[in-house]
Chains A and B, each alone.
Chain A
């Protein structure tokens, strides 16, 4: 009887596989089209994640063969590493300020710009989008926030009599994070901003007409009940981008505050990872950090998904 069940199950399984193969054969063009991306995605995204998870359980000094050491890296990460706590604090602080603000700013700007005439819209869009495509252009902020007396901001403050001596914006832990947040907000009108504009333009105007018949009185109602729910896919896309961007922040910190920054004031999870990976050659530990960051991001993504579901309710 049991044997019969097993054999039946096997049969079903075999059938399923057969069906799958037949199905694949039928739609081979589709699979063929998907293959290049799938392959690249597997090799360069999925595989590294698993490799990194594997290394996180080893001692691996990059140049010699890894040694399996169990959970030691994670124990050290959560219980011993003070600097990791600083890095985590900085990252969360950074993410929770720039993430939402940049997200909302993107949305607002997109919404405002959408009201403009097409030619002006194109110009304004380009202007706002320029900072994020111009590579390391944010380095000009180094002059603005230079610690020298002749740095722009210091010079202004000194002439106005608001400061008595030059402030070391990028060498004093009290200011570093603030500066980095300001600069990254300047940079933040990026891809999600474009996605929002595209989303806004795809909205069927008849919906607004229907809405006004149904009693929507002002623009805010329109935004909340029609515009946002319709562009939920773009909202999700933007959210994912801004979460990954703000949790993986590192370049700006390194370029502006140096690496490592004074008293780790601009140390984020990713720079901490770089510190262990490339300076101390402790790749196993660095992988543990990466794995941890990976799961944080997944968690936050899930959270945002839940929040976005409530838009327009």
Chain B
């Protein structure tokens, strides 16, 4: 009798305009309703400001600029995820343009020339969804 091996993992799909992307579910903590984005002067690329949630100050990483370019639609929710730094881990808010979805899927290795922040691909009913690693995406934004 053949043993079925399940290689699927959990991912959170999030929309940016007409395209969808994914994060590994283990880095996502919540999907937050629209909140008061606060900004102050800084020189870090991709950071749009901060949210104040339950006493925590959470930086907002506007990934749409890198993933789909300057014509990104209005972001309606914030996906709160953890992001690793050399000495610690912090929460980061990612603005998304719609509801997110949690699913099990099997990830395949990126094909062809893909940006370093794409760590894998999900094939979902004919749609190819890129799995994103936030740390590498932020580094790409810094280099831009």
Q: Do A and B come from one complex?
A: no
